[in-house]
């Protein structure tokens, strides 16, 4: 069986809607779970889990951007390509899980945290469980069949979240996160297989695997570079700072990543498959890419502005021990706003058959980030935890901002041959709305009485920033006005 051909605009629109149902629902569930669990698990314990998840996350990235990405991007693909992708992904996952178990003691010694080895051993099976779901999930994404999986995956997130919260309330500390991760991976693997009819066959996958290899190698190089550059903080910080600093910083990163997963993640789940079928029509490709960037900006920039404005009361509400991460959270919101453009352009570059471009820039960023963070680690080794976290956040902002600017220029002008105003200019109104939200929130917080309880302070600040953001979007963005007008007419 062979699959090919473009998708209609209606198919793409439905896929995007259901993709946002999935990512938005996941954001709501995992956001609540993350904050509730943080109220019962101290930063140092969260830091241990963040260090353990470094390698689990790396394995997941490799699996999603290797053969799986190739079967989504290829114009013509058969069941034999799916078979080859599945067995190679599963085999690689087993090898990676065994390797993680072997290096776990060394990783614990590097970070000066003996408990870390036991957590890594507990999470090693998660790598294999995740691998079981990768190719069936890729098939659904290729077909843009997001509806069939969305509600089931949300149910999985809710169940695993409830179990994780229960374990945190019971005082299990870092093991509460392990319970959540293992449950989510096991249930996700089971769910995905219930919504796809394809089943893997053994034997005769050599030719199909060779077809996928060229794209897979470039994609794997790119995602490895992205992993090193985005996780170099966790890879290096343990040698200079304690688990508490790592926990505070990675918690702030986690919050920004949740926002990014909704804004850019919902688009990313469908953009590669759609853009890959428009590469022959450069004008249509540019229009669609601009629509994707604008849609992500509409969600991400205002959300990051509101999040940065409310960072202080939000973290105080979780617990006083998390408040030192407030400054870093604001800086990371700015970094997330910059890197969002790059995350949307990456599928476009891959769709154009040039994943090696992102790999080169990613490796340069990884090297620059490593050198910068080591320098900051040596400089701030004896500083207060809050200053350590803030220093790393500013370093990451500087490196990611510079390299994203380079990547955007190369992607648009050297690879895609598109004009920046076509792709980026529609995102200006959401950016202005986000900046206005930040300014409004900081102003409101400064005017509130110092003795006001944290919850009313958070609600008042959030409501003020949300109102300003909504008004500016409607005033400045014609698509936002069209959406509001459509909703008013329907009501």
The secondary structure element, H or E, covering residue 2 is strand 2-3
pLDDT score of 287: 83
Contact assessment for residue 270 and residue 20, using Cβ atoms and an 8 Å cutoff: no
pLDDT of res. 248? 92
Give me the long-range contacts of 28-31 (CB less than 8 A, separation at least 24). 29/154, 29/157, 29/158, 29/161, 30/157, 30/161, 30/258, 31/258
As a whole number, mean pLDDT of residues 69-80 equals: 64
Most confident of 77-81, 84-88, 111-115, 420-424: 111-115
* Positive or negative torsion for Cα 216, 53, 271, 91: positive
Token pair of 45, please? 């314990």
Instruction: Report the C-alpha gap between 387 and 261 in whole angstroms.
Output: 28
Instruction: Tell me the average pLDDT across 120-132.
Output: 92
Can you give the pLDDT at residue 189? Answer: 86
77-86, 315-324, 445-454: segment of lowest average pLDDT: 77-86
pLDDT over 80 (residue 58):
yes
Residue 355, pLDDT score:
64
Residues 322-370 have pLDDT tens digits of: 999 999 999 999 999 888 888 888 778 877 777 677 778 888 888 898 8
Residue 188 pLDDT? 86
* Residue-level pLDDT at 270: 63
Report d(CA 316, CA 461) in Å as an integer: 14
Q: What predicted TM-score, i.e. pTM, was given to this entire model?
A: 0.77
Residue 36 pLDDT greater than 50, yes or no: yes
Is the C-alpha dihedral spanning 155, 263, 198, 355 positive or negative?
negative
Higher pLDDT, 243 or 5: 243
Positions of E strands within 253-321: none
Q: Which residue(s) pair with 78 in the sheet?
A: 2
Residue 98 clears pLDDT 70, i.e. is over it:
yes
Return the pLDDT at 79: 67
Residue 4 has pLDDT above 50, yes or no: no
Inform me whether the pLDDT recorded for 170 exceeds 70: yes
Nearest Cα to Cα of residue 345 among 295, 292, 287? 292
Q: Could you give the 3-state DSSP secondary structure of residue 78? A: strand
Number of neighbouring beta carbons within 10 Å of residue 76 = 10
Rounded CA separation 485/491 (Å): 10
């Amino acid at each position: 069986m062979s699959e090919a051909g473009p998708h209609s605009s209606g198919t793409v629109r439905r896929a995007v809607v259901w993709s946002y149902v999935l990512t938005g629902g996941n954001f709501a569930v995992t956001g609540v779970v993350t904050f509730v669990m943080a109220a019962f698990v101290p930063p140092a314990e969260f830091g241990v889990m963040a260090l353990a998840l470094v390698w689990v996350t790396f394995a997941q990235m490799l699996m999603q951007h290797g053969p799986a990405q190739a079967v989504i991007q290829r114009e013509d693909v058969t069941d034999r390509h799916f078979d080859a992708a599945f067995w190679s992904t599963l085999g690689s996952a087993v090898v990676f899980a065994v390797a993680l178990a072997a290096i776990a003691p060394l990783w614990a010694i590097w970070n000066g945290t003996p408990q870390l080895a036991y957590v890594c051993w507990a999470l090693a099976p998660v790598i294999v469980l995740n691998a079981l779901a990768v190719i069936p999930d890729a098939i659904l994404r290729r077909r843009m069949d997001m509806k069939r999986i969305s509600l089931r995956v949300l149910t999985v997130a809710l169940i695993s979240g409830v179990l994780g919260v229960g374990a945190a309330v019971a005082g299990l500390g870092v093991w509460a996160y392990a319970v959540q991760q293992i449950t989510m991976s096991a249930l996700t693997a089971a769910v995905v297989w219930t919504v796809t009819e394809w089943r893997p066959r053994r034997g005769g996958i050599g030719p199909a695997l060779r077809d996928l290899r060229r794209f897979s190698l470039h994609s794997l190089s790119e995602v490895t570079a992205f992993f090193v550059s985005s996780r170099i903080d966790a890879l290096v910080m343990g040698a200079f700072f304690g688990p508490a600093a790592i926990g505070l910083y990675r918690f702030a990163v986690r919050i920004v990543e949740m926002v990014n997963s909704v804004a850019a993640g919902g688009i990313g789940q469908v953009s590669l498959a759609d853009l890959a079928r428009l590469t022959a029509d450069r004008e249509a490709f540019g229009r669609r890419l601009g629509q994707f960037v604008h849609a992500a900006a509409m969600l991400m920039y205002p959300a990051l502005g509101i999040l940065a404005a409310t960072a202080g009361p939000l973290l105080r509400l979780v617990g006083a021990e998390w408040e030192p991460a407030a400054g870093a959270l604001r800086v990371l919101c700015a970094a997330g706003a910059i890197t969002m453009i790059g995350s949307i352009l990456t599928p476009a570059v891959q769709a154009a058959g040039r994943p090696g471009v992102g790999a080169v820039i990613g490796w340069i960023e990884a090297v620059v980030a490593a050198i910068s963070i080591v320098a900051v680690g040596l400089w701030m080794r004896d500083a207060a935890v809050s200053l350590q976290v803030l220093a790393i956040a500013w370093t990451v902002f500087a490196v990611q901002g510079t390299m994203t600017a380079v990547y955007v220029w190369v992607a648009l002008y050297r690879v895609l041959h598109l004009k920046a105003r076509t792709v980026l200019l529609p995102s200006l109104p959401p950016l202005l709305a986000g900046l206005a939200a930040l300014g409004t929130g900081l102003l409101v917080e400064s005017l509130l009485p110092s003795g006001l309880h944290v919850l009313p302070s958070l609600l008042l600040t959030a409501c003020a920033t949300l109102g300003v953001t909504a008004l500016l979007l409607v005033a400045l963005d014609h698509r936002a006005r069209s959406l509001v007008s459509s909703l008013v007419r329907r009501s």
